A and B are shown apart, each in its own frame.
Chain A
Amino acid sequence: MDDGDVRLMRCFASAFPSATPDEIRTAKFDAMPGWDSLRGVTLLAVLDQEFGVQIDLPELLELETFDAVKRYLLQRGAI
């Protein structure tokens, strides 16, 4: 795992404390253990603090997965 991967995993793990790393990597957000909109908002705030990137909740839901979020951050030069 590269540094960006580690940081992103930490963000997801803090927002979804009951999800395993495998679940974080493979599941769609709405299938993630403990998912609700408040969790989603928490993830957005954590991503903002960690990577300085503001994403809206609908945009996050369109991204759907951990890998898609990573690509999004890469495209914006955040990682």
Chain B
Amino acid sequence: MSLIDALERLKGPVSANASPLRVFLACGFTPLHLGTFLSAHLRNLYPSCRVELKSGLFGDLIGNLERLRSEEHDALAVVIEWPDLDSRLGLRTLGGWQVDKLPDIVNSVDLSLKRLTLALQRLPFGLPTRVCLPTLPLPPLFYTGAERCSVFELNLRRSVAAFAESISFVPHVSVVSGQRLDENSPPGKRFDLRTEVTQGFPYKVFHASVLGELLAEVIFRHEPKKGLITDLDDTLWAGILGEVGVAGIHWHLEDHAQVHGIYQQFLASLASAGVLIAAASKNDATLVDQAFKRADLLLSKANVFPIEAHWRRKSESVQNILKKWNVLAESVVFVDDSPMEVAEVQTAFPGMECLVFPKDDYAAFWGLLSHLRNRFAKISISEEDSLRLQTIRNSAAFREPEGEEGSSLDDFLKGAEGRLTFAFGKPLEDPRAFELINKTNQFNLNGKRYDEADWSRFLEDPRKYLVTVSYQDKFGKLGKTAVLTGRLRGKQFVVETWVMSCRAFSRRIEFHCLQYLFEKFAVAEIFFELQATGRNGPLIEFLQQLVDGPVEANSQLSRSSFLRKVPKMPHQVEEVSANG
């Protein structure tokens, strides 16, 4: 925020019945632009409030705190700079920097910090108080030069650190994070000697802006989020569980999957601080259960509740989790590596914060961790925090599961602008169909696998057809996601192989596949060479929606039955020749 933006923000009208937000800014310098920025950021954070900022006498920080009438304020921001602890550490007085004066400066700072501690301890419990430690550089008063730390400088910094530690135990007092300030305001670009000398204001305008924003954020923190719902595949771990199996998922350095390990460690840390953690994954529940039994998993299954692992929509999983937790969507963060899943959940729960897990971007991943830590920030951990998960687990066991539509899938899919490409033919150079058939388990008609010789024979057989399906939408490309093979038998098309990547579920691509077959081959029935494999439940569940009667081995689907039961087909479809 520039100064002109801040000033204009403060010119904006305030409702006549706005409640006052009375903040005292305690500092030893002229608050000037820091006050402007703090007020403007508070206005942004609390638009329904009338911000009233007061400050005390110039050059008397500790006295201002000692004289403070706390009942007149809703919050207190204390900004300490070195001259507040000893005026010789400032540049507006000329008390001397001779070597023999340095020990006395250290002693004087200690005394000032003791006075400050007492003043802060005397403040009433209900007054939120935020203390910012010195942000500006020490002046060049040490004989060791700028490259080496003088023992006096180290003493000064130790005293300030000890002071910060002691006041952090005072219930209403919090210390503003120096690390956060360093991230946003480079330490070497904060001090303005010109304005310090001519105006009594030591900050560059940019530093004042950053510090004002940080103070506004910490003065009245938002309620921390209560729960985090995480995806599993390519999020909690690297790899698609259904494709690579329990032993094939990774989160360690040697497997180039360290970010997933760090993420697990981070979630375990959140859980230990009382944050609810749940998993929502389009996955095989049995496999997920086995994966959570891996001894090297850094996030214990005991800390994850509930685990929603099935093939239905993510928003449905999220809905179920919210019910079991009994919390509002606004109190929850959802994390998934798929932008489409994130968008689907966001559409269903507009108040929920939905974030993409940036598995391939280290900088973004670092930013995500920092962001999440802030979202779940607490000033202290209570006993109730450690009991929360067990309480919810117990309550949920008595609650009946309820089915309820989270949002309109039709609307969401329509907005996704999906495009399906059916490649008809048998390209000899493209191994993707072969790979997909041989590694897909969940949405797999019969578990049939091919070796290279089988595949060559299939490709050479003129009676057999191959259809490869690619998908993309506004969220990105999924690439080749489904493969069908089969043959014509009278008025039937016999599907011999049908696989689809689990990443493509819930997009109705499977319905489009069947529609394509009916139209392409102008048949009245589709015959499925179905075999239950113990792992292909998702495909069987899908067919049960369409086939009249129970789905068994060698089921068939009539065109009329399909047309009667098929939902809206959301995607644009095109056909290309796979042979170029």
> Which A residues have a C-beta under 8 Å from some C-beta of B?
10-11, 14-15, 17, 38, 41-42, 45-46, 48-50, 54, 56-57
Report the Cα distance A42→B10, complex, angstroms: 14
Is B33's CB under 8 angstroms from A42's CB? yes
Which of B8, B32, B198 sits near A42, CB closer than 8 Å?
B32
Closest to A10 in B: B4
Please encode chain B, from 204 to 243, with 1 for each CB lying within 8 Å of some chain A CB and 0 for all others. Answer: 0100000000000000000000000000000000000000
B-side contacts of A42, CB under 8 Å: 3, 7, 32-33, 36
Is A38's CB under 8 angstroms from B7's CB? no
Report the Cα distance A11→B11, complex, angstroms: 13
Residues A56 and B198 in contact in the complex (CB < 8 Å), given A17-B11, A42-B33: yes
Whether, in the assembled complex, B194 has its beta carbon less than 8 Å from a beta carbon of chain A, the answer is yes
Least Cβ–Cβ distance between B40 and chain A, in angstroms? 11
Is A41's CB under 8 angstroms from B32's CB? yes
B-side contacts of A46, CB under 8 Å: 3-4, 7
A-side contacts of B199, CB under 8 Å: 41, 57
Is A38's CB under 8 angstroms from B32's CB? yes
Whether, in the assembled complex, B544 has its beta carbon less than 8 Å from a beta carbon of chain A, the answer is no
Is A49's CB under 8 angstroms from B2's CB? yes
B-side contacts of A45, CB under 8 Å: 3, 32-33, 195, 205
Is A49's CB under 8 angstroms from B3's CB? yes
Least Cβ–Cβ distance between B515 and chain A, in angstroms? 59
A-B contact pairs, 23 of them (CB 8 A): A10-B4, A14-B3, A14-B4, A14-B7, A14-B8, A15-B7, A17-B7, A17-B10, A17-B11, A41-B201, A42-B7, A42-B32, A42-B33, A45-B32, A45-B33, A45-B195, A46-B3, A46-B4, A48-B205, A49-B205, A50-B2, A54-B194, A56-B198
Report the Cα distance A17→B39, complex, angstroms: 15
Report the Cα distance A10→B8, complex, angstroms: 9
A-B contact count (CB 8 A): 40
Report the Cα distance A74→B195, complex, angstroms: 24
Please encode chain B, from 30 to 47, with 1 for each CB lying within 8 Å of some chain A CB and 0 for all others. Answer: 101100100000000000
Least Cβ–Cβ distance between B143 and chain A, in angstroms? 33
Residues A11 and B32 in contact in the complex (CB < 8 Å), given A17-B11, A41-B199, A54-B194: no
Which of B4, B11, B36 sits near A50, CB closer than 8 Å?
B4
With A46-B4, A50-B2, A57-B198 already in contact, 16 other A-B pairs whose C-beta atoms are closer than 8 Å: A14-B3, A14-B4, A14-B7, A14-B11, A15-B7, A17-B7, A17-B10, A17-B11, A38-B30, A38-B32, A42-B3, A42-B32, A49-B205, A50-B4, A54-B194, A56-B198
Least Cβ–Cβ distance between A63 and chain B, in angstroms? 16
> Which B residues have a C-beta under 8 Å from some C-beta of A?
2-4, 7-8, 10-11, 30, 32-33, 36, 194-195, 198-199, 201, 205
A-side contacts of B205, CB under 8 Å: 45, 48-49
Least Cβ–Cβ distance between A57 and chain B, in angstroms? 7
Is B32's CB under 8 angstroms from A49's CB? no
Least Cβ–Cβ distance between B505 and chain A, in angstroms? 53
A-side contacts of B7, CB under 8 Å: 14-15, 17, 42, 46
B-side contacts of A17, CB under 8 Å: 7, 10-11
Give me the 7 closest cross-chain CB pairs, A-B, nearest first. Answer: A14-B7, A17-B11, A14-B4, A46-B4, A41-B199, A46-B3, A49-B3
Report the Cα distance A46→B30, complex, angstroms: 17
Report the Cα distance A46→B33, complex, angstroms: 10
**Residue among B8, B36, B194, B199 with most chain A CB within 10 A:** B199
Report the Cα distance A38→B34, complex, angstroms: 13
Least Cβ–Cβ distance between B190 and chain A, in angstroms? 15
A-side contacts of B195, CB under 8 Å: 45
Report the Cα distance A45→B205, complex, angstroms: 7
Report the Cα distance A50→B201, complex, angstroms: 19
Report the Cα distance A11→B36, complex, angstroms: 15
Report the Cα distance A45→B199, complex, angstroms: 11
Report the Cα distance A48→B3, complex, angstroms: 10
B-side contacts of A49, CB under 8 Å: 2-4, 205
**Residue among B3, B36, B194 with most chain A CB within 10 A:** B3
Closest to A54 in B: B194
Report the Cα distance A46→B205, complex, angstroms: 9
A-side contacts of B36, CB under 8 Å: 42
Report the Cα distance A21→B32, complex, angstroms: 24
Least Cβ–Cβ distance between B269 and chain A, in angstroms? 41
A-side contacts of B33, CB under 8 Å: 42, 45
A-side contacts of B30, CB under 8 Å: 38
Report the Cα distance A41→B205, complex, angstroms: 12
Report the Cα distance A10→B4, complex, angstroms: 8
Report the Cα distance A50→B6, complex, angstroms: 13
Least Cβ–Cβ distance between B2 and chain A, in angstroms? 6
A-side contacts of B4, CB under 8 Å: 10-11, 14, 46, 49-50
Report the Cα distance A67→B205, complex, angstroms: 25
